[in-house]
Every structure is written in C-alpha cells, then in structure tokens.
Amino acid sequence: MFALRRQLGSRYYQTPILYRTTGQFSVKVLFTTSEAYPLIKTGGLADVSGALPTALRKLKADVRILIPGYPQVLKNVKNLAPLTVLHFIPQVGTVNLLQGEMPDSDTPVYVIKHPALYERDGGPYLDAMGQNWVDNPLRFGVLSHVAAVLSSGFSPLTWKPDVVHCNDWQSGLTPAIMKFFSTEHAKAVFSIHNLAYQGNFADIWVGLLGLPPQSFQPEGVEFYGDLSFLKAGIVYADSIITVSPNYAREIQTPAYAYGMDGLLRAQSAKLHGILNGIDDQQWNPQLDRHLIHSYDHAHLAGKLANKRALQQQLGLDMNTEGPLLAVVSRMAHQKGLDIVLDAASALLQDGAQLAILGSGDPGLEREFTKLAKDHPGRVSIVTGYNETLSHQIMAGADIFLMPSRFEPCGLNQMYGLAYGTPPVVRRTGGLADSVSDTDISTVKGASALKKGISTGFVFDLATTEDFLICVRRAMTLFQDKQAWHQLQQNGMKQELSWTHSAKQYMAIYRKLIKP
C-alpha cells in the first residue's frame, strides 16, 4: 500500500467510498484470521473463527472470513474459485484472491493464494521441526495488508466491510496500515486471544512491510526496539476485545501483560472482555460424530459406555470405579502441565487413571511418556494433534484438568462442562469466568450444588499442593454418585453457545458504525 500511495499521490486520500450497510444485513464484517476450524486448527483461535462468524450471520451480520491459503485451506474450502488480483502488496507485489465457502456453512471465505508464502509442509506458524517460520513477519504482514486493502477505498471488490475484525498478532498490523494510508476505511476491531504471543520482530521489518518510519516510536508500533504486530493492533484499532471479562482486567496488570499493562490501561476505554462460546454443533455429546455412544444430561449411561471404549482404546485397565482424569492441551508452560506431572503419582496412588492428549514442549512429552511407561494400564499419553480423540477423551473421562498459569478464555473447560466431565481449573482468566467451585462441606456450598450453580472445582495457586487438594476434592465428590450426577447435570445445562456472546460483538460493531 505504501508503494500504491506513492503512485497515487493525494488521490490516495480522496477515495469516495461510503461505508454504510443496506439490505438484509445490519453490518458487514471482514473476519481476518490465521486459522479457522474445520479448515485448519492449532488451538482455540480456530474454534472461535469457525463458530463466531456463523453465530454472527444468524444475527444478520454479513461476516466473511479472510485467511491465508495454506494447503489445508485450499483443500477444504468449498467451491473455491479465483476472484481478483491485488497489487502493490509490499515485498510480494501481487497476490491472488480466491473466494469460496466454509465446508459446513454458507459463510463466504476469501483465501489469499500465494504459493511461496503459504503452500508448504508444516503448520501455519511452525515448520516441521517446531521452529517459527523465519518469514512469519512477511507471511502475516501480507495477511494484514490484504485485510487493510479489502477494508479501504482501494479494494477492487464491490463488497466493502463496515468493520474489519482482526484476530491476534497475525493480523495486528491491519488497523495501523489502514490508519496510515487511507482516510476512507472500515472500523477496526482487534481481538486478543492470547497476549503472550505478540509477533515482535526486528525493526528492519518496518521498512520491508511498507510502514512509515514515523510509525516506529513508542506511541506507535515500536515495542522495546522491535516492530510489534500485537501492539499495532492495540494502538490503532477502534475497539479491542479480549476473550473473557476477567482476562480483560488481568492484562491491565503487570503479572499478565508481558510489559503491555500500561499500554492496555491507557486504552481501557476501548477494551472489552467477551467470554467465548462453544460451537454447540461440533461440541455436543448428543450430536458428536466422533463418539461411539451419544448421550445427554438425562441419559448419562452413554457416557459410561464412552469411558469403557476409551479405556480399551488407550490400553487402560477396564476399571469403572476410580475416576479417569484427562488433559487435552498444548504442552506449554502456560497450561501448567508440569503441575499435573508433579501431582501424578499421588493421584495414581489415590486410585485415579490419567489420559493425556497433547503436543508441544518435548521435555513434557518425554516426562509424560515415561510416566505412562512406568504405570501401564493407569496412564496413557498420546502425543500429536488428534481431533477425534480429543472429543472421545472429553466424553469418556470423568474429570478434566486445566491448571493453567494464565488462560485468556479456554475452551476445553467449557467442553468439559458440556460433556458431563467437571473441570478442575485454576482461578484465572476465562476459567474463573466459566467454572463455579463446588464445596458441599458448607450449607451455602451444598445449596449452590442443588441450585445448579456449582459446575466444577477451582483453586488459586499454581502449585502442586493447591492443585492436589482441589483434585482430591473432586475425587471425593466423585464417590458420592448422587452429588456427582447433580454436578454433571449442572454443567451440561449451562448455556455455553455463542448466541449470547455474538450479541455482545454485534453491539460493539453497531456502536462503531453508528453515524
């Protein structure tokens, strides 16, 4: 766009485009993301990007997804066809834009086709060795530029979004690019799904990505001498959303902000926390195509049958008395799996079984593999990414473990609630917003269980001791079949779908585009 600006001179600032929506839709949104289920998924961002657009479209928002053309995306998007060519993208010149639809809905998808950038073996962010692709600033700089072009007066498309909704650092430059190069552009919403990933790169990328030199200052895109994609999104977006109200508060404090707390406090007037929902078509034990036995809150026998099938599949003893504890997670320091590892022998001694599905930190993978080897029939570890098994574990386990050190929202604890697998969580971020502790040793606690308020188990400190006390509370209640049944029902009856959250997003979009 920088090159385009030089070519067009002052015309760049005079594009007569009006950003007003008409017709059956109330607002037009370009939802820009680096992953979306079921096209490609590495974590919760994909779940959100798959489900939120659908929920918003049900509320009559014309949401269209923009995503890089990784091989999986090119393969999975329905009715994919060439749409247009975009010029003047820094470093790469031109990119082809394709259009298709999500495989399981009619949500339109714009795909950036650039084979050299996106069509390679490995993941969207990491190569086959687990290292960041060295050209990530370029790969996601291009995503950010394309989103900015499509959301400004320079777009060759007749469809002009009112709002560009950017997600995480990978599209964080978009609001900045729009502000620098165009007076007529959509409003920018920037969602932070995890502040720990900031997209900070050497300052040479400022020029390479066509950003004006004056943008590289503490009030702009500079973060301690680096270009920060995340900071660009925070500074230049019209509205910032993070994925739970509690995390929105936490990231304004030094303990959770990786140096960005002052910046976020300064931007607090435009910062909102909206709790994620879950896709109740994909994550619903009544409809789940990955399960051998379907069930719901009134018919929990199917859950026990799933437990037996899971034990058999994972080579665990076919014991139905002790609780089967489970983890499905990225193996990262954030997730506190080292705490699970430290507590494991005590929990096994108490009669629990443990099923782990995860990948990431090679040290943790090794330790869990050793644990499983030392406890055949009691511990199972599956490394790698396995969508089907993640559903089967959620259905077959009794208690879900999530001792995260921080957790912007977290989805697995909500899947646990929906599947009658009460979660044990640390009181942080979205975990604190979505799980309510159970303690029947007090009159108040017993009444909260009866009234449907208690849904899981919550502890405060990220220590083995606190975690162990909490899991033991859960295991004790597990032996009280009536109370446990009530707890499962409480979770399964929670309203966890996207409907409520999508309305909150709509309110923000509407406020931004109000004339």
User: Residue 358 interacts with ligand ADP (CB under 6 A)?
Assistant: yes
**386 lines the binding site for ligand ADP (CB under 6 A):** yes
User: Is the CB of 141 or the CB of 410 nearer to ligand ADP?
Assistant: 410
Residue with tokens 């504890």: 325
Residue 102 Ramachandran class (φ > 0 left, ψ -120 to 50 alpha, else beta): beta
Among 330, 333, 427, 510, binds ligand ADP (CB under 6 A): 330
- 12 vs 406, beta carbon nearer ligand ADP: 406
Residue number with CB closer to ligand ADP (243 or 513)? 243
Q: Does 435 bind ligand ADP (CB under 6 A)?
A: no
Taking the complex as a whole, the smallest distance from the CB of residue 225 to ligand ADP amounts, in Å, to: 28
Q: Can residue 258 be called a binding residue for ligand ADP (CB under 6 A)? A: no
Asked if 385 is part of the footprint of ligand ADP (rule: CB under 6 A), the reply reads: yes
Between 178 and 399, name the residue whose CB sits nearer to ligand ADP. 399
Q: Does the footprint of ligand ADP cover residue 246 (CB under 6 A)? A: no
Q: What are phi and psi of 343, to 5 degrees?
A: -90, -10
| Nearest distance, CB of residue 385 and ligand ADP, angstroms | 4
Contact present, 95 and 112 (Cβ < 8 Å): yes
Which pairing describes strands 78-89 and 93-101: parallel, antiparallel, or unpaired?
antiparallel
Chain Cα centroid distance, residue 279: 12
Residue among 111, 372, 411, 440 that touches ligand ADP (CB under 6 A): 411
Asked if 74 and 119 count as a contact pair (C-beta separation under 8 A), the reply is yes
3-state helix, strand, coil in the chain (%, to 5): 40, 20, 35
Return phi, psi of residue 61, to 5°.
Answer: -90, 135
**Does 108 interact with ligand ADP (rule: CB under 6 A)?**
no
Which tokens in the block code for residue 12?
């760049």
Find the part of the chain contacting ligand ADP (CB under 6 A) among 148-156, 252-260, 382-390, 457-465. Answer: 382-390
Over the range 466-501, which residues count as b (16 or more CB within 10 Å of their CB) and which as e? bbbebbbbbbebbeeeebbebbbbbbbebebbbeeb
Smallest gap from Cβ 262 to ligand ADP, in A, equals 25
Evaluate whether 171 touches 181 at the Cβ level (below 8 Å).
no
DSSP state of 131: P
3-state secondary structure 413-454: HHHHHHCCCCEEEECCHHHHHHCCECCCCCHHHHHHHHCCCC
CB of 287 to ligand ADP, least distance (A): 16
Residue 511 CA to residue 206 CA, distance in Å, equals 32
Residue 333 binds ligand ADP (CB under 6 A): no
Identify which of residues 239 and 329 has a Cβ nearer to ligand ADP in the complex: 329
Nearer to ligand ADP by Cβ, of 100 and 358: the residue is 358
* Position among 107, 242, 390, 488 found at the interface with ligand ADP (CB under 6 A): 390
Q: Which of 91, 96, 313, 359 binds ligand ADP (CB under 6 A)?
A: 359
Gyration radius from the chain CA atoms? 24
Phi, psi of 353 (to 5 degrees): -110, 160
When CB distances to ligand ADP are compared, the closest residue is 44
Q: To the nearest whole angstrom, how small is the minimum distance from the Cβ of residue 482 to ligand ADP?
A: 30
| 242 binding ligand ADP? (CB under 6 A) | no
Cβ-based nearer residue to ligand ADP, 260 or 327: 327
CB 506 within 8 Å of CB 28: no
Taking alpha carbons only, the member of 370, 412, 369, 405 closest to residue 387 is: 412
Contact partners, residue 134, CB within 8 Å, separation at least 6: none
Please state the closest distance from residue 80 (CB atom) to ligand ADP, in A. 25
433 binds ligand ADP (CB under 6 A): no
Site for ligand ADP in 15-74 (CB under 6 A): 43-44, 47
- Which residue, 247 or 484, is less far from ligand ADP as judged by CB? 247
Question: Counting contacts by CB under 6 A, is residue 328 touching ligand ADP?
Answer: yes
- Residue 316: C-alpha distances to residues 15, 382, 387, 421, 439 (Å): 65, 13, 20, 18, 30
Q: Which of 392, 412, 436, 501 binds ligand ADP (CB under 6 A)?
A: 412
Report the residue number, 267 or 359, with the smaller CB distance to ligand ADP.
Answer: 359
Contact residues toward ligand ADP (CB under 6 A) are: 43-44, 47, 328-330, 357-359, 385-387, 390, 409-412
